[in-house]
Amino acid sequence: MPKAVFLYSDEFAHYDYGLTHPLKMRRLRLVYELLHAYGVFADPDVALIEPKPAREEDARSFHTEDYLAVLRALDEGIYPSNPYAYGLGPGDNPIFPGLYRLALLITGSSLEAARLVDARETPVAFSVAGGLHHALPHRASGFCYLDDPVIAIKWLLERGHRVAYVDIDAHHGDGVQLAFYDTDRVLTISLHEDGRFLFPGTGFVDELGEGAGYGYSVNVPLYPGTDDETYVWAFEEIVPPLIELYRPDVLVTQLGVDSFATDPLTDLRLTTHGYTRVVARLKSFGLPWVALGGGGYNLSNVARAWTLAFAIMCGIELPDELPPAGRDALRREGFDVRHLRDPEPTTSSDPRVREQAEKSVRYIQEHVLRRLAARS
């Protein structure tokens, strides 16, 4: 049994959101090239698997039939009369050749990660293309056409698992929260930039769930400029205690890298120092782990952070000096980078950063942690 599985296909790079769109599919190729340059895939305890597209039946577990019919028609060259009704068109969710095929391929990758973990064929599977957490049942949103985290989690629920979903993308995981807002079979935890300042404008601390799901939706909104120290502190105060109390069967994570200081779309200030501490903590839970990618719009950050993340999943310590092939791959994208890790962690002198984190943590401790502890 491999220690970890990496799911990747060269087909991902065949699709293009457009020249000016911030989401570049070639970022996935960069991660693969960097891991290959380090020799990670030569390790006999590591498996590299090429995913296949999901079936439309799988997508139907969350998305509406009329929305899927529109996506299907687009792949056949038939445009809807009102694409904006489905969140499609110029802007965040452009129409481009093969977009439905791509969405099904990404979803298939995340479903295969779930299957591998469910079958105990590996303790952790990383669907690097996955983590598109904004798509809604009836429309595209935030660069996401199908919500692969939701579809993968629903597949796990059908097999009787309790799931904890932890999302460290800079953007709130609104599609996933919506899907499981009224159930206690999924605990959703999202650490993200405060919705007052960033899309999708949701994920406030008082969004706690409803009905049977009350207390199982957890949000940690953070102030712009949140640094490594404060981010890791907030994570440690909330996530490990919740995991211990909830006792999930499977951990699903969205490991977006747009929380980094040099990401062009967001305002958090993480580096590889804080990011790897969080990923290592996730591994320490010792749970069957379905890891998904997510946001990240500085290609150097994406390549380096997800390489480090997968190395942690594999239990491999990588040297900081980038191998020549890895440097060449990043140089082709305009990054003259010599090191895998950022030189120093970030710190913030803005008192609002710590104040916001402490306020969010106190609220969750009072309204969620105490409630779950009383039920245990």
The helix (H) or strand (E) run that includes residue 309 is helix 299-314
pLDDT band at 81 (very low <50, low <70, confident <90, very high): confident
- For 4-375, CATH gives 3.40.800.20
Q: Is the pLDDT of residue 25 over 90?
A: yes
**For residue range 163-196, what is the model confidence (pLDDT) as tens digits?**
999 999 999 999 999 999 999 999 999 999 999 9
Mean pLDDT of 283-308: 98
pLDDT band at 15 (very low <50, low <70, confident <90, very high): very high
Q: Is the pLDDT of residue 304 over 90?
A: yes
Q: How big is the CA angle at 253 (ends 300 and 97), to the nearest 5 degrees?
A: 60
* The residue type at 89: G
Q: What is the pLDDT of residue 376?
A: 74
Tokens 């009224």 sit on residue: 182
CA distance to 11, 71, 167, 203, per residue, from 171 (Å):
26, 25, 9, 9
Contact 206, 178 (CB under 8 A): no
Least Cα distance to 234 among 137, 64, 354, 114 occurs for 354
Q: What is the pLDDT of residue 80?
A: 87
**For residue range 91-143, what is the model confidence (pLDDT) as tens digits?**
999 999 999 999 999 999 999 999 999 999 999 999 999 999 999 999 999 99
Q: Which residues are catalytic?
A: 134
Q: What is the pLDDT of residue 375?
A: 83
Mean pLDDT of 51-74: 97
pLDDT band at 290 (very low <50, low <70, confident <90, very high): very high
Residue ranges of the domains in the chain? 4-375
Tokens 């490594």 sit on residue: 228
Where does residue 336 rank: exposed (0-12), middle (13-18), buried (19+ CB within 10 A)?
exposed
* The residue type at 144: C
Q: Rounded mean pLDDT of the chain?
A: 97
**For residue range 332-373, what is the model confidence (pLDDT) as tens digits?**
999 999 999 999 999 999 999 999 999 999 999 999 999 899
The helix (H) or strand (E) run that includes residue 361 is helix 351-364
Tokens representing residue 367 in the block: 């309204």
Portion of the chain with pLDDT greater than 90, in percent: 97
Count CB-CB contacts under 10 A for residue 134. 26
What distance in Å separates the CA atoms of residue 70 and residue 73, rounded to the nearest whole number? 5
- DSSP secondary structure string, 152-182? HHHHHHHTT--EEEEE-SSS--HHHHHHTTT
**For residue range 193-251, what is the model confidence (pLDDT) as tens digits?**
999 999 999 999 999 999 999 999 999 999 999 999 999 999 999 999 999 999 999 99
Contact 93, 87 (CB under 8 A): yes
* Cα dihedral 282→287→288→291 (10° resolution): -10
* The residue type at 97: P
